[in-house]
Amino acid sequence: MSTVASNLPSGSPSIEPAHDAEGAIAALRIERNACMVASDWPGAAGFATQIAALPTCTPEDLRIASGVLSQCGRMADALPFAIRASLAEPDNAEFAQHAGCVSNQCGDDRGAIDFLLKAAFLDSENAETYQQLSLSADRLDDLAAATALAQRAYQLDPSSPHRGAVAAHYLAREQRLAEATAILRRVVDTADPSPAICRMLAHLLQVQGDYVGALEAIDQAISADPDNAEYHAARAHALLELGRNDEADIALQRSLELDPANLGGLRHAVSILAEKDQFDRALSYSGRLLERQPNNAEFGNCMRHLLETQRINTAVSDFAEIAALKASAPARRAAPRTYSDGLANQFRIIMALVLRDLRGRHGHSHIGLLWILLEPIIHIGVLAVVFQFTMEGSPPMGDDFFLFYFTGVMPYLLLNHLVMRVGSAVRDSRGLMQVASITPMDLLMARSIVEFFITIVAFFIFIGLFELCGVDAASFAPQYVFGAFAITWMLGTGIGLVFATLHEFGGAIDSVLGVFMRIIYFVSGIFYVPALLPLFARDIFVWNPFLHVVDLMRIGFFPSYDPPWSDVPYAAEVSVVMLLLGLITVTATARPMRILR
């Protein structure tokens, strides 16, 4: 005991010698807890590390030592204790998550992923785990995985403005601007957002050309933080785009009053006015820049560029008639090609886009590949655990909850991914279609092939995992199972093509798409057997073609299952019609799909 007392940190209260080790550690805990209550984190760290050095310390003592060291900013010292605590209690999700968070703080991304994946397995509903995983994925340059994980964190904790902002940030980096905007709108409408989130929403709306919405969002930010110079500069830019020049001048003047040294807003206003051919006002603003910083080379070059552009535009206006004649000239015809040559070239383009999509989504790290398995594992696991208790341990069909829900979740995930990703493919990769040889149809079909390929790979991996766990899943009837996948592919691709077309008419379609897929989830028998429904409800649900697809998948795994309402030809016919409709709508809107926005 004298050794323990002599090792106490300098300035710590002395402890009377105890008769045994338990008394010593109990006394140290009392002192540690008192320091924690008083927010004396350095003092608490001293006692906590003394406790952690004793052989009788508990995993909870190790966790507390890591926590108080983290409070002191000593992340490198906190990490070994966090790791020891998690290893000592391998089934504790909170300890695993804490070790992952501290690893993230220390820059050990791969170590963080190991602990955080373990935490997600132990507790699949903890939003912070997915938030931390998204941070690790981002630092490993896997933007697609970081986006998916941040979205999952926000789905689990939709009341958190921070999680919504992080998810929107990653979506915006993937150029999925409509989805990012939709999330931020929900955050602003349902929570008490920070001015920074309102400013972020304003920026996204401005990028998409919605200057009225951008102005509303930036006004909301200014009402919460009226002395932020950058917000007033952003308001001026939105007003300039709306043609409200006098109000823009007032907003810029207010921005400069708040921060005279920041002339970036005024410089940006010059660029906006020049793009709108308002050279007189642009020259006026440029003169104000030179007045404030007459020796600034950039501002001088800006003034010279404006004067030169104005002179050239005046000269070019005399040749407007010549330019109109040139624009009306017939396009040069391409050299004729055989049908087989064109088909082979189209196949090469689509395969190149498929490989590009696969590399872009999962080529930078293993976290993207892990998400292919983690998403259905979480989905199936939650359903199995919940219904195992509500159904008193008896699955609706067969002997294994996981296999039953697997047969419903896999076709649904394929349908969902096809609809969502094919539907957003053009919007996300519009720049690719500036290459003349790439058509919108090429891009959409490549995305559809990628989703089908990934789902089939995940399907066979799961079959192997079931066999390893002693569940007989490999003896399925392939004609039914792959028939279900084929019909799902046609149906999902067709719906995705239609929604890709509707995206050209506005971003509100994202909300419709989300509601549509949630309805499909609940009316397709994914987590129940339609025989359990009231007869009147089942008579309505059978009009849903995807319900018959799920039943077809289950027939392939459960030979005794023979639902009398099953109508596979009906599901196939609807899927073919939907695919044809999608092909027609995309062909009709191929030209506007190429326009950059």
Residue 510 in any domain: the answer is yes
Question: In terms of pLDDT, which residue wins out, 268 or 78?
Answer: 78
Alpha carbon distance 196, 121 (integer Å): 34
Question: Looking at 150-164, 282-296, 578-592, which range is the least confident one?
Answer: 282-296
Residue 314 scores a pLDDT above 60: no
Per the document, the length of the chain is 597
For residues 328-352, b (16+ Cβ closer than 10 Å) or e, as one string? eeeeeeeeeeeeeeeeeeeeebbee
What is the per-residue pLDDT for 331?
Answer: 45
Average pLDDT over residues 255-283: 67
Which long-range CB contacts under 8 A does 40-49 form with residues at least 24 apart?
41/68, 41/71, 41/72, 42/9, 42/72, 43/9, 43/11, 43/12, 44/68, 44/71, 45/9, 45/69, 45/71, 45/72, 45/74, 46/8, 46/9, 46/12, 47/8, 47/9, 47/12, 49/77
Residue 150 in any domain: the answer is no
Contact 289, 263 (CB under 8 A): yes
Residue 327 scores a pLDDT above 50: no
- Domain range holding 579? 393-437+447-593
Residue 525 in any domain: the answer is yes
Question: In terms of pLDDT, which residue wins out, 469 or 371?
Answer: 469
Question: Looking at 108-117, 315-324, 485-494, which range is the least confident one?
Answer: 315-324
Taking only Cα atoms into account, the Rg of the chain, rounded to an integer number of angstroms, comes to 31
Residue 334 scores a pLDDT above 80: no
What is the per-residue pLDDT for 392?
Answer: 58
Residue 1 in any domain: the answer is no
Identify the CA nearest to 62 among candidates 72, 70, 53: 53
Alpha carbon distance 509, 507 (integer Å): 5
Residue 11 scores a pLDDT above 70: no
Q: What's the pLDDT tens digit per position in 393-452?
A: 577 787 777 888 889 888 998 999 899 888 888 877 766 665 667 788 888 999 999 889
Alpha carbon distance 378, 123 (integer Å): 9
Per-residue tokens: 346: 């189209």
Q: What's the pLDDT tens digit per position in 483-513?
A: 999 999 999 999 999 988 888 776 667 778 8
pLDDT band at 189 (very low <50, low <70, confident <90, very high): confident
User: Can you list the alpha helix ranges (DSSP code H) found in 72-194?
Assistant: 75-88, 93-105, 109-122, 127-139, 143-156, 161-173, 177-190
Per-residue tokens: 526: 């994914």
Helices (H) and strands (E) counted in the chain, each on its own, are 30, 0
Give the up-direction half-sphere exposure of residue 565: CA atoms within 13 A in the CB hemisphere.
24
Residue 539 in any domain: the answer is yes
pLDDT band at 546 (very low <50, low <70, confident <90, very high): very high
pLDDT band at 594 (very low <50, low <70, confident <90, very high): low
Average pLDDT over residues 350-362: 76
Q: What's the pLDDT tens digit per position in 515-530?
A: 888 899 889 888 888 8
Which long-range CB contacts under 8 A does 308-311 form with residues at least 24 apart?
309/274, 309/279, 310/279, 310/283
What is the per-residue pLDDT for 577?
Answer: 96
Burial of 20 per CB tally in 10 Å (0-12, 13-18, 19+)? exposed
pLDDT band at 479 (very low <50, low <70, confident <90, very high): very high
What is the per-residue pLDDT for 398?
Answer: 76
pLDDT band at 371 (very low <50, low <70, confident <90, very high): low
**pTM of the prediction?**
0.45
* Listed ranges 187-196, 213-222, 398-407, 563-572; the one with the highest mean pLDDT: 563-572
Residue 547 in any domain: the answer is yes
Q: How many domains is the chain built from? A: 1
pLDDT band at 15 (very low <50, low <70, confident <90, very high): very low
Residue 196 in any domain: the answer is no
Question: Looking at 162-171, 193-202, 447-456, 470-479, which range is the least confident one?
Answer: 193-202
What is the per-residue pLDDT for 492?
Answer: 93
* Listed ranges 96-100, 230-234, 266-270, 503-507; the one with the highest mean pLDDT: 96-100
Average pLDDT over residues 268-288: 65
What is the per-residue pLDDT for 366?
Answer: 53
Alpha carbon distance 474, 481 (integer Å): 11
Q: Residues near 158 by Cβ (< 8 Å), separated by ≥ 6?
A: 164, 186, 190
Contact 88, 60 (CB under 8 A): no
Percent of the chain with pLDDT over 90: 16
pLDDT band at 557 (very low <50, low <70, confident <90, very high): very high
CA separation, residue 61 to residues 257, 308, 331, 483 (Å): 54, 72, 77, 56
What is the per-residue pLDDT for 472?
Answer: 87
Residue 548 scores a pLDDT above 90: yes
Question: Looking at 235-249, 268-282, 488-502, 574-588, which range is the least confident one?
Answer: 268-282
Residue 369 scores a pLDDT above 60: no
What is the per-residue pLDDT for 489?
Answer: 95
Question: Looking at 220-229, 341-350, 582-591, which range is the least confident one?
Answer: 341-350
Residue 349 scores a pLDDT above 80: yes
Residue 573 scores a pLDDT above 90: yes
Residue 31 scores a pLDDT above 80: yes
Residue 377 in any domain: the answer is no
